[in-house]
Every structure is written in C-alpha cells, then in structure tokens.
Amino acid sequence: MSPAALIPTCSTATPQENWNALFKAGERVRLRVINGSAMSYFDVRIPGLKMTVVAADGQPVQPIPVDEFRIGVAETYDVLVSPEDDRAYTIFAEAMDRSGYARATLAPREGMQADIPERRQIADRGMEAMGAHGMGGMDHSGMSNMAGMDHSGMSNMEGMDHSNMSEMDRSNMSNMEGMDHSSMAGMDHSSMSNMQGMDHSNMGGMAGEQAKIGENGLLVAGEAQPGSRYDQAGIGIDPDERRVLVYRDLKAFTPWPDRREPGRELELHLTGNMERYMWSFDGKKFSEVTGPIHFEKDERLRLILINDTMMEHPIHLHGMWMELENGQGELIPRKHTLNVKPGERVSALITADAEGSWAFHCHLLYHMDAGMFRVVQVS
C-alpha cells in the first residue's frame, strides 16, 4: 500500500488561488489533510475519486475506503487516492455550515481545473437531532430559521433575524442544556457583541448534519444520549450511499504497547454558554481553576469527556496519546484530538508517560481563549 508519491506541500491558498498538485495517471498519491483553521470544521471529498483513509492524527489505521470525511480543527487524516483518468479533480473541503469552502486541484498537468461542486444545503430536520436532551417538543419552525440563518451576516449579527429566534417555543427552550435560557428569549442585543467570535458555522451545522444521520436511521431523534455510540460520531452513510468516515471505523494495525487496565477514571464535562460566550471544563474557566489536572507519571487512566453543550468541540491533549475507546477492542486507534459532538460521551485511555506540564484544550481557538483550557501536569 505504499504510495508512489507523497505531496509534502502545505496550502494556504484561497479557493480562487487553487492550490495545485500534479499526478501521473495511475499512480497512488497520499494526501495528508490537516485542519489548520481556527474555528471551522470541514467536510472533505474529491468528486470522482474514492479516498482510502490510512492514518488519523498521523497514526496508521487499517485502510477505510470513504467518499467523504469530516475533519475537526487540529485533526489530521491521511488518504490514498489513485487518479487514473487524464483529468483534473477538485479536492473540496466544504465548511460544516456550508458558508464557504476550501478548494485545491489534483491534475496531470499545470493549469487544469475541475468543476467546483455545488454547495450543499444544511439539512433542516428538527432540533431533536441536535443531540441535546428533551428537545423533542421544540418548535421546529423557529429552529428552521436558525439552521438556515445567514452566517455571513452573523459575523456582525446585523443580518440576524431576531424575530425568528423569538418564534421559538420558550417553554421548550428551557430544556436546552448549556444555554442561558432566560436571556435567550429576551436577547439583549447589546451583549451580542460578545458573539462576534462565535463559530456560527458550528451553530448552523449542528442541526443539519446530525439530522442527516436521523434520516438514515443511524441516529434516531432523541437517541443521542451520552454513550459510546461511535456510529454517531460522524455523519454515517447518507441517502445516496456515499460512505462517510465515522470514528468507529478507525482501527489500529497492532495493539498499542501499554495494555494495562486503567487504574482510575477522570471525568470532565465540556461546558459553555453560547450567548455569553463562556467556554470551560466542568463549568470553570481556566482563570478560575486553582491548579493543574494531575496525572501520576506512568499511570494508566481513562479520560471521559462529556459534552454538555450544543456544539462540537475538538479536544486536544499535548504530550500524550489518547486511545479512543471506539469499540475496536485491542485495536482502538490513538489520537491527539478527539471531536466530541453535542450531548456525546467519549472515553479514551491514556498512558501518562511524558513528564511535565501539558496543554489540554478545546482546539476551537476562541473557545480555548475563553477558558476551555487546562494544564495537565504529569509528575
């Protein structure tokens, strides 16, 4: 499976600049895709080419043929592709909220380009698919406006249609976790300036992509309770039978060396308040905690992350690997960044083999800055 060519180029090109990589027909190319954005999740595909995922966060995994994968901030996936035709292919990375895209081109010669796919709609199939609990009774007419919200306008909030927000059934809003319900209903627009840094893409994308799962029966509405349901960790298989990578697919080649059972469990809640733009672990911002999280040197522990918010968070640990407990037994994959979806519970095994102080944080940079950050001290 070794690729004939590794393209060791980083791209900071805009879609218009159209970063280009050349291939020879029939050769196998390995692409390493790193989400280096500050706040955006991307759905990545190459129309006309099957991709085979062979590594996650730089760690080899057993080959997984996919048509598309979602990549959180700081995650990395390596894919093999074998372009055979004498034509260009568009590497298309659509922002999760469909507000924009990144694009590059694989081609046999310079100067070629392929079509840019039409941007897909954010699906609007109801709030109960957002993964929060008890939201089944929500007024979907109000939320449909939220999903279809003009995100470009939201960056300054000018374009936001507040009347749509008020259509929401407030009595049901009280079921929404992690939100300041009282102030949501009577939203103070002056405080909206706090939302400038907010990742609206996630906000818009949440309802859409989760709901897509629901339509395929992989995620039944209201079923997204905390639990290790890794078939829900990604998008699943969508209506036109395209295969989309999910965490449960990731399977290592050989067991990682430390096979000890964890000596203890450490549970952390991902917490926040969208309107006030507060993000934290266990309800405490970094500035409010008294000290680091302590790992005993060389201990084996289980880290459990529970997302109490309505957004996805890519949680990143420096210095040590997290072995994602995704149901693959001894062959669970290891990652440095774990995407945790709204309402989801994710667990990982860690061998604390790296002495020192390490950053542990949400890799949405505004969240990190707001306080979703801790120091892990191994000693």
Q: How many residues bind Cu ion (CB under 5 A)?
A: 4
Q: What are phi and psi of 71, to 5 degrees?
A: -130, 120
Gap between the Cα atoms of 204 and 97, Å rounded: 5
**Smaller CB separation from Cu ion, 30 or 200:** 200
**Smaller CB separation from Cu ion, 114 or 348:** 348
* Residue 154 interacting with Cu ion (CB under 5 A): no
What is the residue whose two structure tokens read 């300054």? 156
Nearest-approach distance from CB 73 to Cu ion, in angstroms: 9
Nearest-approach distance from CB 9 to Cu ion, in angstroms: 29
For 256-285, give one letter per residue: b (16+ CB within 10 A) or e. Answer: beeeeebeeebeebbbbbbbebbbbbeeee
**Smaller CB separation from Cu ion, 49 or 195:** 195
Segment interacting with Cu ion (CB under 5 A) among 121-129, 256-264, 329-337, 358-366: 358-366
Nearest-approach distance from CB 19 to Cu ion, in angstroms: 28
- CA nearest 318: which of 347, 355, 284? 355
* Residue 361 interacting with Cu ion (CB under 5 A): no
Q: What is the residue-wise DSSP string for 49-70?
A: --EEEEEETTEEEEEEEESBEE
How many CB atoms within 10 Å of residue 59? 18
Q: What element of type H or E holds 95? A: strand 89-95
* Residue 367 interacting with Cu ion (CB under 5 A): yes
Q: Tell me if 52 sits within 8 A of 79, measured CB to CB.
A: yes
Instruction: Compose the 80-119 pattern: x for residues touching Cu ion by CB under 5 A, - for all others.
Output: ----------------------------------------
* Residue 348 interacting with Cu ion (CB under 5 A): no
* Residue 364 interacting with Cu ion (CB under 5 A): yes
**Smaller CB separation from Cu ion, 237 or 372:** 372
Among 313, 335, 361, 374, binds Cu ion (CB under 5 A): 313
Nearest-approach distance from CB 237 to Cu ion, in angstroms: 27
Alpha-carbon Rg for the chain in angstroms? 21
* Residue 315 interacting with Cu ion (CB under 5 A): no
Q: Tell me if 372 sits within 8 A of 280, measured CB to CB.
A: yes
Q: Tell me if 23 sits within 8 A of 49, measured CB to CB.
A: no
* Residue 200 interacting with Cu ion (CB under 5 A): no
Instruction: Compose the 232-261 pattern: x for residues touching Cu ion by CB under 5 A, - for all others.
Output: ------------------------------
Nearest-approach distance from CB 267 to Cu ion, in angstroms: 17
Segment interacting with Cu ion (CB under 5 A) among 115-123, 146-154, 343-351, 354-362: 354-362
Cα–Cα distances in angstroms (integers) from residue 169 to residues 51, 150, 173, 175, in the given order: 43, 21, 6, 11
**Smaller CB separation from Cu ion, 168 or 362:** 362
* Residue 224 interacting with Cu ion (CB under 5 A): no
* Residue 362 interacting with Cu ion (CB under 5 A): yes
Cα–Cα distances in angstroms (integers) from residue 240 to residues 130, 234, 244, 246, in the given order: 22, 16, 11, 17
Nearest-approach distance from CB 101 to Cu ion, in angstroms: 22
**Smaller CB separation from Cu ion, 197 or 292:** 197
**Smaller CB separation from Cu ion, 41 or 92:** 41
Helix axes 200-215, 140-147, angle to 10 degrees: 120
Structure token digits, residue 23: 């291939």
Question: In the complex, which residues of this chain contact Cu ion (CB under 5 A)?
Answer: 313, 362, 364, 367
